[in-house]
Chains A and B, each alone.
Chain A
């Protein structure tokens, strides 16, 4: 695929450019399988970059999370570009942001990386619990190799990869200034994990299912904040005047929150699965998002973040769009 030295070398080159402020990648975390987003400011910082199946954050979020604070009087804004390591899903997020004018293409440098999926830590929990020692992992054909305290464990990817990655059809960046390494052949059939099962369940069953899931929500908004698509400056959830969704934690308000979150992702979710991976309450948010992804694909033949020249789903009108389900 791509080796780390190539990435580091290229990263060094990019951050050495005068028009680049920094490059955002990942580096080792402080324990277990953790990896953390990392800002490479100077060429020597690039030595700390890592790239593995443990890189489970969507780096496009770093673009939308960047804070734009008022500058001290007389200080010129830093107009240099932000460089970003992007895999398929990260790049799809960037593309979606481009079409929404959430990000200016001129302001980003995209260094593409092929990807064979990221690990869902919840799947490792029981069989390969996290230890204090920082572990490493790598892709090896259709396996994931965990390297814990010098001991290598090969695990079939089906057992540990995030569900979203298991059905990913975009393992390669859809947009990048340069893509390193060899392209990865998509391995998955079109499917939407967890959706069919729920679709086939009765209304009551589905209601009960989500009631139990949403009841557990602690409203920490990690799902919202980890999502590269949630970047409204004034989020409906934080608004108090008017208060659209009460801050009380109960099934009703929590459901309202999750519906609001989901609706704002219609035709925008790029299926990276970051929201679900960060949820401290383990709510299967992917199932909601995938249902929306499926609907939009089937009814509108639209896939977010796949066409840099495209028009956002909600902003496009096609006379051929189905309307039999519209009231």
Chain B
């Protein structure tokens, strides 16, 4: 573990050093939102304004669309896409890194998923602790914290005029080594960082006691609650696409001329088409079943398989829902009514 300090005055050279060593992904303002995009040489881009990315950095390791293999229509040969580059994600929020840890289990479970794992193994994550939590943050209800290091390689804390950086993994130490010239050794900033994190923790206002939810979800399968909470649902994919732990995908063949590729793309259990059989039969025929599945997957099915809740409390599904379907509201009703 190494502890470093980055003076904000040295920000540009730090960024440049990271970008020289690896493909650097960075929260970029795109229209009114932030999303992670490859660094384009604009060293002025800082993290000062950035609060959180609307599209979580899962998109770096599980791109919304990913080519699995290529072929010529009519041929039997398939070829793999280009090898992935070594990447570093700068500025991921700790909850988003914890989410990657959750997604990792799915793609490592039973059989390895080569695309995800190649990406993930080649990606280092430098997390930025949250000094100010956001309105719908509830990470502390899910064993997280504004300064959680789970899933991170380096934790970075904003101390005002400088950042405190601490490597969490060997990979993290190597990353800090790459940018050594821009960094100074830390001397006591660690405790200042701890204070800031603790203070931020105290500012988190939303919470849920997750005790017993798994069991209640099982017992209350047919409860009228599901009709009520899904009624306003538009059936769009905003909650799932923007969720850092949602990882479901579709696989499609896409052909232009004779150039074919099989690719996968994010899919959403909130879409009716997701489970629709070709016969027209749909085992989840309405938004009620789909909403129940979304919640149950995170708070029951995943838990049964991996002994962990597949939610990190980032609050994106709450903030982005056009009709204010609020997972905390649903969960507290599950606790009370089921």
Contact = CB atoms under 8 A, between A and B. Distances in A.
A280 B56 CA distance: 12
A213 B31 contact: yes
Given A67-B287, A216-B31, A249-B265, A30 B324 contact: yes
Contact of B323 (A57, A218, A246): A57
Contacts of A34: 324
Contacts of B324: 29-30, 34-36
A225 B235 contact: yes
Which interface residue of A65, A222, A246 has the most chain B CB atoms within 10 A? A222
A73 to B, nearest CB: 16
B interface bracket (residues with beta carbon within 8 Å of A): 35 or more
Contacts of A283: 31
B318 interface: yes
A65 B234 contact: yes
Contacts of B136: 31
B135 A248 contact: no
B234 A222 contact: yes
B65 interface: yes
A282 B320 CA distance: 11
Contacts of A131: 135
Contact of B231 (A39, A129, A249, A250): A39
A61 interface: yes
Contacts of A122: 32
A202 interface: no
B161 interface: no
Contact of A31 (B33, B237, B318): B318
B271 interface: yes
A31 B326 contact: yes
A216 B320 contact: no
Nearest to B31: A282
A216 B323 contact: no
Contacts of B232: 36-38, 62
A238 interface: yes
A30 B136 CA distance: 10
B272 interface: yes
Contact of A69 (B285, B318, B326): B285
A130 interface: yes
Given A35-B324, A36-B324, A220-B236, A130 B241 contact: no
A247 B265 contact: yes
Contacts of B286: 67, 69
Nearest to B236: A222
A278 interface: yes
A142 to B, nearest CB: 26
B192 interface: no
B241 to A, nearest CB: 5
Contacts of B241: 218-220, 280
Given A29-B324, A30-B318, A280 B242 contact: yes
Given A122-B32, A216-B31, A278 B285 contact: no
A36 B263 CA distance: 37
Contacts of B234: 61, 65, 222, 225-226, 278
Interface string B253-295: 0100000000101111001110000000000011100000000
A218 B55 contact: yes
**Residue among A62, A225, A278 having the largest count of chain B Cβ atoms under 10 Å:** A225
B31 A226 contact: no
Contact of B326 (A30, A38, A282): A30
Nearest to A227: B234
Contacts of A278: 234, 236, 238, 322
Contacts of B206: 31, 132
A221 interface: yes
B328 interface: yes
Given A31-B206, A37-B323, A218-B242, 4 more contacts: A30-B318, A69-B286, A220-B236, A247-B267
12 contacts: A31-B318, A32-B135, A36-B324, A37-B231, A39-B231, A57-B322, A213-B31, A222-B234, A238-B273, A240-B252, A249-B64, A280-B238
Interface of A: 29-32, 34-39, 57, 61-62, 65, 67, 69, 122, 129-132, 212-213, 216, 218-222, 224-226, 238, 240, 243, 246-250, 277-278, 280-283
